[in-house]
């Protein structure tokens, strides 16, 4: 199951140890790490990315789910980019919030106080025990959320309702006297603009979801190829 993990630590040393432990768990086969970053909550409330783990498809992925979450954890004070540039990319935050949930963001924000550190990672994890045990040993508090599929039903119903209003305005416009036509046309134009904006937003979200799915598939394919190559070397 794909999950978002945020592991909060009291100091930077423990946070780096936690990040390394997460990657060791991946090496053992307990989890797969799609993207990972170590962040610090500064005294002024801003979030600084201290270190990231990305190469190839990883960079694309950290620019969406992980990057969006880090930006949200920054709150109104914004963020600063440390060792890794380009980590926080915009354009898909609404998609990512819909998959993570506002309550999860609120829980993490309450725990990630100024002068604390966290490891933020998107992982594939079949069971929670390996990560929980290792992070508890280091002194980290684990926040975990399964990533839900993006649902378009509510959005489609919203657009359908606006289209119904638009059709009604057009019917009235066809029968209206000259003094009413201009006002009705203004309503038609405004509503049509809103509909087009909603349709574009839906398209952007679909493309973002497809992009993330493709990136994950490439990561897992690369990991499988690396494991096969390693096994062949061992056999030889």
What confidence category does residue 83 fall into, taking pLDDT thresholds of 50, 70 and 90? very low
Overall average pLDDT of the 81-87 stretch: 39
Alpha carbon distance 202, 221 (integer Å):
29
Q: Tell me: pLDDT of 155 over 50.
A: yes
Alpha carbon distance 236, 224 (integer Å):
18
Q: Hunting for tokens 């030889």 — which residue is that?
A: 236
Strand partners, 7: 119, 142
29/104 same-domain check: yes
Strands annotated E in 56-215: 79-81, 117-125, 141-146
CB-CB neighbours of 135 under 10 Å: 23
pLDDT tens-digit readout, 30-78: 898 888 889 899 888 888 888 765 444 444 444 557 777 777 777 654 4
175/119 same-domain check: no
- pLDDT at position 99, please? 66
| Domain endpoint, select from 125, 146, 167 | 146
Number of domains making up the chain: 2
Strands annotated E in 31-91: 31-41, 47-53, 79-81
115/86 same-domain check: yes
| Domain endpoint, select from 122, 146, 170 | 146
121/226 same-domain check: no
Tokens representing residue 136 in the block: 């508890």
pTM, two decimals, is: 0.65
| Position with higher pLDDT, 114 vs 104 | 114
Q: Give the closest residue to 96 by CA, choosing from 141, 128, 61, 56.
A: 61
142/186 same-domain check: no
- pLDDT at position 57, please? 41
Phi and psi dihedrals of 121, rounded to 5?
-145, 145
Strands annotated E in 147-227: none
| Position with higher pLDDT, 165 vs 171 | 171
Instruction: State the residue range of the domain holding 169.
Output: 153-235
């Amino acid at each position: 199951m794909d999950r978002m993990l945020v592991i909060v630590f009291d100091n930077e040393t423990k946070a780096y140890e936690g990040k390394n432990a997460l990657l060791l768990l991946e090496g053992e086969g307990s989890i797969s790490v799609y993207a990972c970053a170590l962040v610090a909550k500064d005294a002024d409330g801003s979030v600084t990315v201290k270190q990231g783990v990305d190469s190839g498809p990883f960079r694309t992925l950290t620019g969406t789910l992980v990057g969006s979450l880090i930006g949200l954890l920054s709150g109104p004070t914004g963020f600063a980019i440390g060792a890794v540039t380009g980590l926080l990319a915009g354009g898909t935050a609404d998609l990512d919030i819909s998959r993570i949930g506002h309550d999860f963001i609120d829980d993490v924000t309450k725990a990630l106080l100024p002068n604390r550190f966290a490891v933020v990672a998107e992982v594939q994890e079949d069971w929670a025990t390996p990560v929980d045990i290792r992070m508890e040993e280091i002194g980290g508090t684990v926040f975990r959320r399964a990533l839900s599929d993006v649902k378009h039903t509510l959005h489609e119903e919203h657009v359908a309702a606006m289209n119904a209003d638009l059709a009604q305005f057009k019917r009235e416009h066809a029968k209206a006297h000259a003094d009413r036509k201009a006002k009705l046309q203004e309503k038609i134009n405004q509503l049509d603009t809103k509909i087009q904006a909603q349709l574009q937003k839906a398209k952007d979200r679909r493309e973002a979801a497809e992009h993330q799915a493709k990136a994950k598939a490439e990561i897992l394919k690369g990991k499988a190829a690396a494991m096969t190559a390693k096994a062949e070397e061992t056999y030889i």
